[in-house]
Amino acid sequence: MFTYDPRGLTWDEWCARMAELFASNQLGTLPEDQWRLWADGMQGIGYFVQSAVPDQRGFDHWYDWAETLCGIMSIQPSQS
């Protein structure tokens, strides 16, 4: 699964790119002060419900959450 790396992006830039990436799920965008609500919405998308998408409650800032998300999403399952 692909996700945008948040490095060098503002919340608005990163959120818009992610919303476009997951447009079929109607994630949309929210202002930065509502990033936790947006993260909850992303975590509720079918694919992510069963994955290791981090819960926003463990993070103080959207950027830290997004970096962790990016790291998790870039891990490819091993081929057996």
Query: Residues 30-45: pLDDT tens digits?
Result: 999 999 999 988 887 7
Distances (CA, A) of 53 to 62, 69, 73, 80: 13, 6, 8, 24
Q: Which two tokens stand for residue 54?
A: 């981090």
Question: Which DSSP string corresponds to 62-78?
Answer: HHHHHHHHHHHHTPPPP
DSSP state of 54: P
Model-wide pTM > 0.85: no
**Residue 4 pLDDT class (50, 70, 90 cuts):** confident
pLDDT tens digits along 57-66: 989 999 999 9
Delimit the domains of the chain by residue range.
1-56
- Distance of alpha carbon 30 from alpha carbon 27, whole angstroms: 9
Would you give the distance in Å from CA 55 to the centre of its chain?
10
